[in-house]
Structure 1
Amino acid sequence: MSEGERLARAALTRLTEPGDEAVGRWLRQLGPVDLMRGLTGAGPPPAGARADRLAGCRARAAGLDPAGDLAAAARLGGRFLCPGDHEWPTQLDDLGDARPVGLWVRGSPDVRRWALRSVAVVGARACTGYGSHVAATLGAGLAERGWVVVSGAAYGVDGAAHRGALAAGGATVAVLASGIDVPYPRGHAELLGRVGEQGLVLAELPPGGHPTRSRFVLRNRVIAALTRGTVVVEAELRSGSLVTARRAIELGRHTMGVPGPVTSGLSAGVHELLREGASLVTGAADVIELVGSIGDLAPERRGPVVPRDLLDADAARVLEAVPGRGGAGVAAVAREAGTGAERALAKLYELQALGFVERLGDLWQLADASSTSDTPKPPGRRPGARRGGA
């Protein structure tokens, strides 16, 4: 890209609003230099541009200084990326005409390489302690496994996810609705400083740009497109994080939700997302199984193995046939278990050695421990057991 085109794109980030599909269409048709000239009155206006829009652009044009903006970013250790640059994350191209005009970046890592192995973790600003804990654990777990955690640096879930990744010494990216030199919220200035040192801070607005409600919503499309998948941790039914998740669905990305209490309004949006087909996840391993490569499988989950689980089928049936109190003879046990008397007797002796049953004369009953627990007493002679044959 020529220097003139780069300057024109930098100027357009100040002249126009993020995500404007009309601007994206004109940019595709005219190129950045001619579009910038047309919007500022230095050339023919783009086809279909309304007079009020042109007037607004010309008003903004009075303060244009793209070279100054590039210099301001450089002083922060930042840079301005354009489509076609080697470092440009090409998955943003999936946004079509809503693709960013360019990205202002603070931080040294390669944006394109990091984006290829990234997951968005988003959710409620006013999250509960549960939501904060889950987000931080997810952030740390993903970072420890070599994944980049992307979020919006807001209070609540976003901040917890960033902190979790940073605490694990991993990679994290903050996508802002302001300029890369304008920390928002102000209370996260220190956090964003750490993200800029250890990871990346990205923005569509030029240095000095301030956030607005609409810019927050439009920022979410970048988070959704930039990453391999989006995880929502706590969200009300009307939540910006659900906008991110649904945009991820439209883009064909993996969309996931962490369930919460059914009595919590902060989990209602997540549960609705799960009803719509998002994948339920409970930890980093679940997320990586969805967004990772073949072989990145979450460990199998099962309850604890108890001694009864290790019995063969015949022994298990015989054990089920032994009464807890009063005892039963071999014939009764065999009949209840549906097996022959000799087979039942052999299994009873085996169960006695394992501590599951005890013998009382000619009768057999569950050992005391077995009558109340799946954990038998140590093998050996039980009080009251007699020696001898059946």
Structure 2
Amino acid sequence: MSGVTEEERRARAALTRVIEPGDETAGRWLREIGPVALLDALTGTAAAPPGSGARKLAGLRLRAAGVDGAADLATVDALGGRFVCPGDEEWPGQLDGLGDGRPIGLWVRGQAHLRLWALRSVAVVGARACTDYGAHVATGLGAGLADLGWTVVSGAAAGIDGAAHRGALAAEGATVGVLACGVDQPYPRAHTQLIARMAEQGLVLAELPPGGHPTRSRFVLRNRVIAALTRGTVVVEAELRSGSLVTARRAMELGRHTMGVPGPVTSGLSEGVHQLLRGGGVVVTDAAEVVELVGDIGELAPERRIPVLARDLLDPVAARVLDALPARGVADARWVAREAGAGGDVTRSKLVELQSLGFVQRRGAGWELTRPVEAPAGSRRGGP
């Protein structure tokens, strides 16, 4: 069921061609007088919106001349898509957190239910000119999150975005591409097949109407939708001026979880991530750690166990006796006892015990290690 009338839907569709994404002034007018009255005001058939400036109003009215929301709705319908508005059952309510900057509506391609998919979604974003390391990590995150039942959201851009989408698709999971252009205008062109596959297996959405083209500002504004739509944002590789950091900071402002995957401190592509982590972001290294942070109670990452070595299981006295033996050469039992700070009988007993475990062996009247042991810096390198 939808609480949106067809007249309101047509008006909102037309307004996406007139008003730039994220325009909070126009968003306030929309909230105060509604989409039909606002469209009438911008097409000159009604009074100007309250508090509108002459220059801004003139620019919007120039854009509004000849707009046809019904034609755009027919275009997206022919693509197998739809236009989702606030008030629709499919509208993700978390986008309302953007206030007057929330989208007028979303043009959507794909069969999945947008609101339901967004309930368990994570954004994975990062550098376009990523390294092999970054692409590997992003692909693994995309696949891992999909395997754990989470939707992977990103911007369909080159680099980290594309790697995250491909990882989710390879795992036959859910992924959503948020475009900075119309849903019928795949960008970048190199991702035409990827975006088409997302429209078949997942979802592709945009604020701009069919035919809308990307600009630098629209990429930046697109990021607020990615941040608001998801439970958290993971940044994989980002320079200090990266747009993905805009997404992460907006997520932080909205109270969403903000995460980063650390990289080499010598890499400029990791500088932005490290700055994000210093500013309150959380370190994550795999999908399980992401889900532990953004998921429900009980969705915990597996405990990372430190490998246990055979010598870790020795009792304290046996460990001291073993440490007392020189890294090279043979030592007699009395010398070992003195170095270990243990009695002679106890030391001989522990040496026999260590022999049975394969740590030491007899050599004439003395004892030696059965294999070379890396000695700590500054330790003895020879026998008595």
For the criterion TM > 0.5, the same-fold answer is yes
Question: What's 1:163 paired with?
Answer: 166
Secondary structure at 1:189's aligned position in 2?
Answer: helix
- The residue type equivalent to 2:141 in the other structure is L
1-structure distance, mates of 2:125, 2:7: 37
Q: Is the Cα contact below 8 Å between 1:138 and 1:283 reproduced in 2?
A: yes
Deviation at 1:266, TM superposition (A): 1.7
Question: Do structure 1's residue 220 and structure 2's residue 223 form an aligned pair?
Answer: yes
Q: Is the Cα contact below 8 Å between 1:356 and 1:370 reproduced in 2?
A: no
Secondary structure at 1:113's aligned position in 2?
Answer: helix
Question: What's 1:53 paired with?
Answer: 56
Q: Is the Cα contact below 8 Å between 2:125 and 2:236 reproduced in 1?
A: yes
Q: Is the Cα contact below 8 Å between 2:328 and 2:372 reproduced in 1?
A: no
Question: What's 1:265 paired with?
Answer: 268
Secondary structure at 2:176's aligned position in 1?
Answer: strand
Question: What's 1:207 paired with?
Answer: 210
- Cα deviation code 1:369-389 (max 9, x no counterpart): 15469xxxxxxxxxxxxxxxx
2-structure distance, mates of 1:342, 1:30: 94
Question: What's 2:15 paired with?
Answer: 12
1:329-348 correspondence to structure 2 within 5 Å: 329-348=332-351
Q: Select which of 32, 39, 50 maps to 1:29.
A: 32
Q: Is the Cα contact below 8 Å between 1:40 and 1:54 reproduced in 2?
A: no
Secondary structure at 2:149's aligned position in 1?
Answer: coil
Question: What's 1:307 paired with?
Answer: 310
- The residue type equivalent to 1:314 in the other structure is V
1-structure distance, mates of 2:315, 2:94: 54
Question: What's 1:246 paired with?
Answer: 249
Q: Which moved more, 1:295-304 or 1:216-225?
A: 295-304
Secondary structure at 2:89's aligned position in 1?
Answer: coil
RMSD, aligned α-carbons = 1.9
Deviation at 1:326, TM superposition (A): 4.8
Secondary structure at 1:231's aligned position in 2?
Answer: strand
Deviation at 1:345, TM superposition (A): 3.1
Deviation at 1:124, TM superposition (A): 1.2
Q: Which moved more, 1:285-294 or 1:233-242?
A: 285-294
Secondary structure at 2:234's aligned position in 1?
Answer: strand
Q: Is the Cα contact below 8 Å between 2:321 and 2:337 reproduced in 1?
A: yes
1-structure distance, mates of 2:276, 2:349: 56
2-structure distance, mates of 1:232, 1:194: 24
Deviation at 1:343, TM superposition (A): 3.4
Q: Select which of 174, 177, 182 maps to 1:179.
A: 182
Question: What's 2:290 paired with?
Answer: 287
Question: What's 1:378 paired with?
Answer: none
Question: What's 2:358 paired with?
Answer: 355
- The residue type equivalent to 1:261 in the other structure is P
2-structure distance, mates of 1:233, 1:247: 16
Q: Select which of 68, 73, 78 maps to 1:75.
A: 78
Question: Do structure 1's residue 317 and structure 2's residue 331 form an aligned pair?
Answer: no
Secondary structure at 1:230's aligned position in 2?
Answer: strand
2-structure distance, mates of 1:322, 1:340: 15
Secondary structure at 2:134's aligned position in 1?
Answer: helix
Name the % identity.
71
Secondary structure at 1:143's aligned position in 2?
Answer: helix
